[in-house]
Amino acid sequence: MKANELYHQGIELGRKGFYQEAISNYTQAIALNPNFAEAYVSLAIVRYLTEDEQGGFEDLNKALNIYKDRRDTQRYNIVLDMVQHIQRETEWEKNP
């Protein structure tokens, strides 16, 4: 199966609440295409939904690096906003 097919299946699985299966699909898609930034972002979202904040944060940072290397400023800024939001939320939880 191709990386793009696994990615799209992961989206559908995640929408249905099958988070572990979605994680598996995204992970397989990334194994086939290590520069698949969109799969890293989707994987990060599902990791956050399953309370794996550290894994999600790492995935978002991988996506940031890929977008930076591609010089894809628009997507880089979107993911950067996500990272900054998560950092603020984490700080707030530590110091309410």
CATH number of the domain to which 60 belongs: 1.25.40.10
**Residue-wise pLDDT tens digits, 33-90:** 999 999 999 999 999 999 998 999 999 999 999 999 999 999 999 999 999 988 888 7
Number of structural domains (the chain) is: 1
Q: How far apart are CA 3 and CA 28, in angstroms?
A: 7
Give the global pTM.
Answer: 0.91
The pLDDT value given to residue 50: 95
Give the CA angle between residues 57, 2, 81 to the nearest 5°. Answer: 25
Other Cβ atoms within 10 Å of 41 Cβ, number:
22
| pLDDT attached to residue 76 | 97
Domain that holds residue 70: 3-94
Give me the pLDDT at residue 25, please.
98
